[in-house]
Amino acid sequence: MSTARGKCFDPNGARYGVPTYPWKLAPDGLATRRQLRARGLRPGGQPIAAQVMRANRRAGGVRVAYLYREELALPVRPMTSRKWGSLALAMLARRTCPKCRITYGYCMPRSLGMCVLCAFPAPSASPRSA
């Protein structure tokens, strides 16, 4: 086992407090949130069972994904009409500029807090001096 993978292999949890496995080498019966969601499940309040780690070459650190036990996972709660409605209103608020109140087909940039036209207005035409 390479040194990078050796640092990420701790099946007893002595180093990190929870059992830790290298990326893609977790035992069967454990899944990430995304994997559970793809199967129509959710963690359902259970504690983290393990984690997978891998070296992040770009940032120089490590990436961690938490694993949950599949047999303790619960089915996903269905979306109700009220949830759909509140989600639609939230998305409408994200697409509406707070300054000019125009609704766009995209979400406002959070860095600007308003639409691009309000953030960077066109320079007004100044009269030329003769």
Work out the number of other CB atoms within 10 angstroms of the CB of residue 46. Answer: 13
H or E element: which one contains 41?
A: strand 41-42
Residue 35's identity, in one-letter code, is: Q
The residue-averaged pLDDT of 86-90 equals 97
Domain ranges of the chain: 3-75, 81-118
Express each pLDDT in 29-86 by its tens digit: 999 999 999 999 999 999 999 999 988 877 778 889 999 999 999 999 999 999 999 9
**Do you know the residue count of the chain?**
130
The whole model's pTM is what?
0.66
